[in-house]
Structure 1
Amino acid sequence: MRAVLPLTALLAGVALLLAGSGLLGTLLAVRGGLEGYGGQTLGWVMSGYFAGFLAGTFLAPPLIRRIGHVRAFAFCTGLAAIAVLLHPVWVDPAAWFGLRVVTGVALVTLYTVIESWLNAQPDPAIRGRVFAIYMAVNLGALALGQLLLGLGVDGGFMLFSLVAILVCASALPVTLTRLAQPTFPPNPRLGLRRLYAVAPAATLAAGLSGLAMGAFWGLGPVYAGEIGLDRAGISHFMVATILGGALLQWPLGRLSDRLDRRIGLALACAAAAAVALAALPGAGWGGGWIYALFFAFGGLAFSIYPMSVAHMLDTLPREDLLSGCSSLLLVHGIGAMLGPMIAGELMSRHGPGALPAYFAAVLAALSLFLMARLALNRRPDRHPAAFHPMLRTTPAALELLPETESPPPTATQENP
């Protein structure tokens, strides 16, 4: 633990940042509902964030190389705060979509700064521990952000101001840190066609989990509001799902370490689809059962992307692991961008029940694909990589995984 203490400033910065961004996503869904935006409109608005996040994975590295980690962080906190404060000033779906794109670019740059800095600091012996602490901070801050929704009037300017304050406050510990700024090496991507050829189950699992989870982050609060939950109920609904994802990922992942990884993925997808069907309006559940159902759904659905990463790490040659992680994240991000659009269209036509039905359809299709792959391609179980609980994050964070550490140079490389 002593080795992690110098990284406290970076962890404090990301905690403040994620608390603000977690609050913002739910706040926009609540304010959009008050403005009369339907599921289709909100789905397009929310997809803007994931579009910006994808664009930011390409834009962030050259910006950080050009002006350095501290200046890039300060620049993007200002950019994100401006975008946040413009939402209640410029209430228009097209404007909100553009602001969500800007927010996505800014936030992915901020995450990249912190994650590349974390990756440069720890001794290789504690890489896994730093990664685990970082992911725990991520999930805890996201849950806290949902609870902050209860501090202001529904969708009011005060809550947008609070988000901007949290984003700006995240710059204070980061810019004050005395840690040396690291270099930012290039991070190539493995071609998607080759990635699918080598690890088809991991590739499709990452893409379809993006379709499901992008729709959850974008439209979960809308669903909660449309089934009758008040503002406090919406925040508790989101917290329950996030806590399920935090607490159940580890046992599910460890189970997948003991099975063929594709079996673990197929079982998690099938169970998540069943829970989503149980959450359909009219299924007979009332009171607090909706929170219990989505606690279970979060635990199952949040585990699919990290299981797909672990399966890819099991499959790819060591020299391709980092570029494979980057490409898998890209596939997941494309799915996350499309998910709110598709689910929003379905909700506008069929009501709130379309969201859990969409989850069930996507995850059941993925489970069937994985079972078909198992039937066609049985191979001995190999688990050179271990499961690590995680959220979708930037490629820089995945470099913290012990499995992606560069192998030591051979004698030939040392003495050419």
Structure 2
Amino acid sequence: MIPILLPIGALLSGVALLLLGTGLMNTLLALRGSAEGFSDQTLGLLGSAYFLGFIVGTYVCPKLIRRMGHIRSFAFFCAATAVSLLLHGLVIDAWFWFALRLLTGVSLVGLYMVIESWLNTQAPNDRRGQVFAVYMVVNLVALALAQQMLRIDSPLLFTLFAVGAIFLVLAIMPVAMTKLPQPTITDTPAMSLRRLWDVAPVAFSGALLSGVAMGAFWGLGAVWAGRMGMATEDIASFVSLVIITGAVMQWPLGLLSDRIDRRVALALIAGISAVGGLLMAILGVHGNAMMIGAVVFGAGAFAAYPVVVAHLVDHLHQEEILAGSSALLLVQGAGSALGPTLAGALMSATVPSALPLFFAVMFGLCAAFALLQSRKIKDVIVDEPAHFVPMVRTSTASLEMMAEDQMTSTETAHTTEAEQGPDNLDTPDTANEEEIVERRSTG
């Protein structure tokens, strides 16, 4: 594995430095905006602007990357993000911040596209899944470590804005020095949202509802912790704990989803997240006791979306995987953009503890629908069952790695069956499909 990672070390270093800067930025802006007197509704709108930028960037950034090339595009988007972060600290105005958050969302999806398309072309075909897994680990570790930089200084001072910008500028250096050949950004095939719903309604609803909940968490989680009386250092620990727990629990919950009906697994995972939201609401008034709720919430929340992706892939033919995954990413992005606005308005109209209750309701609805569908309709799997792939929100470029890994797994399964000889030729394909469905339905 080391010989494979060494050539792409510059890319992984670049993304680690990038996420140290942007991971700090997301929490810092929530805390600074709250300290400046922005209402919860306004802070929610700012969180929505960031995820709206993700959606806009999905359509805008490929053209810019083709025009400028990968290295210059990475430098361009890093510079735009760094300038945006510094301007947040210099100009305190809600509408100005809204525009900056929109710009940041566009820039970040461009940065993800550059790195992920590069990794996609550099990873050997039989190791794409491993490279993708390492990339996700780098993502989660950098995001968790970024929160701890809140301990350096007060969010009311300019220091943290400068620190975040420094990391964003440093991220340019390893990428600019790389000698790796620059790849080509390809157009992602499209799938209609109606087709997505018809193929896998549980995947559609799961992506939307988990997106609404997690968008609200990223946009307002730190604000809620501050409203509960947490100091800046404790808020950093709170956000880091949710991320770390989510990263650790993705593997066992993912393995579980590979062995039972994936809809039941999603219901369990969403149910855990809902319980975590309730515990945070109940224990929030008891200071650090809310960390118990954070652990439970993080354990399920980060596994929901990758299980949804795997469930969708279960119901797609090989040639549809990339288009379906891209459409699902759009649905999840729409939910992420909607979540902070809804949650912020709810917090403004009621009490801060409405935020974790909002998490509980969204994940509770997700669990209820998935469980209802599992009892109502038999889960018919197309081709071969998918394999769970741990992930956080990415761009469409990384979906190519995930999709090709799923395709390779399916092709390998078919090849293995063919190599077993004539003894298996008398078993009809329908019997194999029934065996798969029965195995996944009964666990």
TM-score range normalised by the length of the shorter chain: over 0.9
What are the equivalent positions in structure 2 for 1:201-212 lying under 5 Å apart? Answer: 201-212=202-213
Aligned to 1:319: 319
> What is the distance in 2 between the residues matched to 1:58 and 1:213?
23
Q: Does the 8 Å CA contact 1:84/1:160 hold for their aligned counterparts?
A: yes
Q: Which residue of 1 aligns with 2:160?
A: 159
Cα distance, 1:35–1:287 mapped onto 2, change above 3 Å: closer
Q: Deviations over 1:268-318 (max 9, x none)?
A: 11121122112114x587353322321221120111000000101111111
Cα separation, 1, equivalents of 2:155 and 2:82: 20
Provide closer, same or farther for how the CA distance between residues 19 and 284 of structure 1 changes in structure 2, counting only shifts above 3 A.
closer
Cα pair 2:203 2:311 within 8 Å, conserved: yes
- The answer as to 2:286 corresponding to 1:286 is yes
1:25-82 per-residue CA deviation (whole Å, 9 max, x = no partner) reads 1101111111011211100111111011110011111111111111111111111111
Give the letter for the 2:14 counterpart.
Answer: G
Give per-residue Cα distances to partners, 1:114-158, cap 9 Å, x unaligned.
Answer: 000000001111111100000000000000110011111233211
Change (3 A) 1:59 1:148: same
CA distance in structure 2 between the partners assigned to 1:40 and 1:235 by the alignment: 22
CA distance in 1, matches of 2:379, 2:42: 46
Q: Counterpart in 2 of 1:403? A: 406
CA distance in structure 2 between the aligned counterparts of 1:190 and 1:346, rounded to whole angstroms: 33
Instruction: Calculate the TM-score normalised by the size of structure 2.
Output: 0.89
| Mapping 1:3-402, distance limit 5 Å | 3-281=4-282, 283=283, 286-379=286-379, 384-401=385-402, 402=405
Cα deviation, residue 189, structure 1: 2.2
Change in 2 beyond 3 A, CA 1:285/1:381 = farther
What is the CA distance between 1:256 and its match in structure 2?
Answer: 0.8
TM (norm. structure 1) is: 0.95
CA distance in 1, matches of 2:395, 2:409: 18
In structure 2, distance between residues paired with 1:21 and 1:91: 19
Counterparts in 2 of 1:210 and 1:284: CA distance versus 1, 3 Å? closer
Q: Take 1:391 and 1:284, find their aligned partners in 2: how far apart are those partners? A: 26
Aligned-partner Cα distance in 2 for 1:154–1:284: 22
How far residue 371 of structure 1 moved from its aligned partner, in angstroms, is: 1.7
Aligned length: 407
Q: CA deviation at 1:375?
A: 2.2
Q: Identity rate of aligned residues, in percent?
A: 48
What SS does the aligned partner of 1:280 have?
Answer: helix
CA gap 1:56/1:227 in 2 versus in 1, 3 angstroms: same
CA-atom RMSD in angstroms? 1.6
1:20–1:166 CA contact under 8 A, matched in 2: yes
8 Å contact from structure 2 (residues 211, 334) kept in 1? yes
Residues 140 and 284 of structure 1, relative CA distance in 2, 3 Å threshold: closer
Aligned residues of 2:315 and 2:380 also touching (Cα < 8 A)? no
Q: Deviations over 1:331-371 (max 9, x none)?
A: 00000000000000011111211001101111111111112
Instruction: Tell me by how many angstroms 1:22 deviates.
Output: 0.7
For residues 126 and 51 of structure 2, the distance between their equivalents in structure 1, rounded to whole angstroms, comes to 34
Within 2, Cα distance between the matches of 1:370 and 1:391? 21
Shift of 1:405: 5.5
Unaligned runs of 5+ in 1: 409-416
Take 1:381 and 1:293, find their aligned partners in 2: how far apart are those partners?
35
Q: 1:406 to 1:286 in 2, by over 3 A?
A: closer
| Unmatched segments (≥5 aa) in structure 2 | 412-443
Task: Please say if residues 21 and 164 of structure 2, whose CA atoms lie closer than 8 Å, have aligned partners that are also in contact.
Answer: yes
Give the CA deviation at 1:103.
Answer: 0.6
Residue number in structure 2 paired with 1:412: none
Which residue number in structure 2 is paired with residue 411 of structure 1?
none
C-alpha separation between the residues in 1 aligned to 2:214 and 2:266?
Answer: 15
Q: 1:6 to 1:284 in 2, by over 3 A?
A: closer
Distance 1:297 1:211, change over 3 A: same
Q: 1:404 to 1:159 in 2, by over 3 A?
A: farther
- Cα distance, 1:380 vs. partner? 5.3
SS in 1 for 2:29: helix
Please say which structure displays the higher CA radius of gyration.
2
For the 8 Å contact 1:54–1:333, the answer to whether it is kept is: yes
Partner Cα distance (2:408, 2:165) in 1: 36
